[in-house]
Amino acid sequence: MRNIIKASSATKLATLLIGAAMLGLGSQGAWAQAGDVISNLAKISYSVGAIAQQEICSSPTGNGTGNGGTTGTTCTDGVNGAGNSSFVVDNRVDVLVAGGVVTPATPGQTGVLTPFTVTNNGNSTLDFSLVAANAATALAYDVNGTAVNDNFNPVAALTIYSDGGVLGIIDGTDAIITSIANLAAGATQNILVQTDIPAGQVNGDAAVVSLQATAVWPTPLIPAESSAAAVAGANVAATGGADTAGVDVVLADAAGGTTGLPADLASDGVHSNYGAFDVSAAILSVQKVATLLCDPFNGATNPKNIPGAAIQYAITITNAAGGAAATLSQVTDTLVAALAFNTDLISGVGAGANCVTGTGSLSASGFGAVSGAGVTTSYAAPGLAGEAVTAGATHAAGLVTINFATLASPAYSLVGASLPANSFVTVYFNAFVQ
């Protein structure tokens, strides 16, 4: 059933027109609905020779019949020749897809999400078909004012979810969708686009995705809001030619995103926008350095790598600036048969001519550890007593194991084994050449 909006005076008509102009600046959901009939009557009061005459109400073809009184009468359609001047509100179709979110992601992350919204800025209830797509790679995109250089496509096909309940996550209220049904004028539907990030991506990689919404006639049709050419489930098309007496259609959407999207022009009943996934990864480097400390003949002065010589191994993990923090788990190192682990971690200081175990000992555990800021380590052989490891590093049958979650040393300060960007950790131990 059509809504009828009536006004009974020129003053009310002016107010209505001003209000309509104001609506263009305010909530679009408050616009007159497509199919509404707007009707108005005007009234003239006048005198002849200072004698008040009966008021006359308007009609579309002109009316000269008095309205039964000289002042304060009410104009009624069909009474005393009065007739409404009426028109039907046409259908403004205007869909807006908003996104513009650059979502952080990590290599190998599955089910990563980026949000969009689809808003019906028109004046009728419509359906909207949805398509999510990977943007073309090797192109630059403007994602809501942020320049994003797309250089990879996620590994999985994009999945579109309605986003209800707790926004921004997939919960029990969300469902996989390919369209939005019966989105009322002025209403907004929250959307999540989901994909996976390949494990091989590196810090700074980015993937741009698009969401496109197309206006579709609802099923079932709403007769009062539909044009004569409307077909349930079909894309909405503009009404050509001059204004008709029925509900005409005007496609009022703006052009969608820029480079890389499917065709999306102004006034085509389609709108689209970009979101992006920005890969934030740790930039790790692992270094193992062997330092000769002493041998049995030369001691610590100009030693040589001969049987009986003590070698210090330093394993350093660095995380470069600009990346994400890395949670370290475990390092393992299998010593060859020609090496014998030194549980005393000799320093070489005071080793004398023999370079024997137990001389100049720094750590009864056989390990030292130090961490700090920067990617150039402050560690230098043979290390310091304050770097001795008390837990988290072990040796058994030639296998060295370092567990960073339990590693303990006065000079090791990683919280939760998390290695921040632009920092390092070094663990070192000694072995004798056999």
Tens-digit pLDDT profile for residues 275-307: 999 998 999 999 999 999 888 888 888 999 999
Higher pLDDT, 265 or 125: 125
Same domain, 62 and 176: no
Residue-range definition of the domain harbouring residue 136: 92-279
Same domain, 224 and 99: yes
* CATH, residue 314: 2.60.40
Same domain, 83 and 103: no
Tens-digit pLDDT profile for residues 169-198: 999 889 999 999 999 999 999 999 999 999
How many domains is the chain partitioned into structurally?
Answer: 3
What pLDDT is attached to residue 244? 93
Looking at the whole model, is its pTM more than 0.85? no
Considering only CA atoms, which of 405, 90, 104, 116 is closest in space to residue 271?
A: 116
pLDDT band of residue 259 (cuts 50, 70, 90) is very low
What pLDDT is attached to residue 428? 95
Same domain, 100 and 245: yes
Same domain, 186 and 258: yes
Same domain, 331 and 410: yes
Same domain, 72 and 161: no
Tens-digit pLDDT profile for residues 96-126: 999 879 999 999 999 999 999 999 999 999 9
Rounded CA-CA distance 84/433 in Å is 108
Same domain, 76 and 147: no
Q: Tell which of 89, 111, 143 closes a domain.
A: 89
Which residue type does 335 have? L
Same domain, 117 and 156: yes
b/e map 8-37, b = 16+ CB within 10 Å: beeeebeeeeeeeeeeeeeebbebbbbbbb
Same domain, 356 and 249: no
Structure tokens at 283: 């930039």
CA dist 213 to 50, 120, 222, Å?
65, 10, 20
What average pLDDT does the segment 391-401 reach? 94
Same domain, 148 and 238: yes
Contact present, 42 and 63 (Cβ < 8 Å)? no
Share of the chain above pLDDT 70, in %: 90
Place of tokens 């630059």: 140
Structure tokens at 304: 């040589």
Q: Which residues fall within 8 angstroms of residue 277, CB to CB, at 6 or more apart?
A: 102, 103, 104, 105, 112, 114, 154, 195, 197, 206, 207, 209
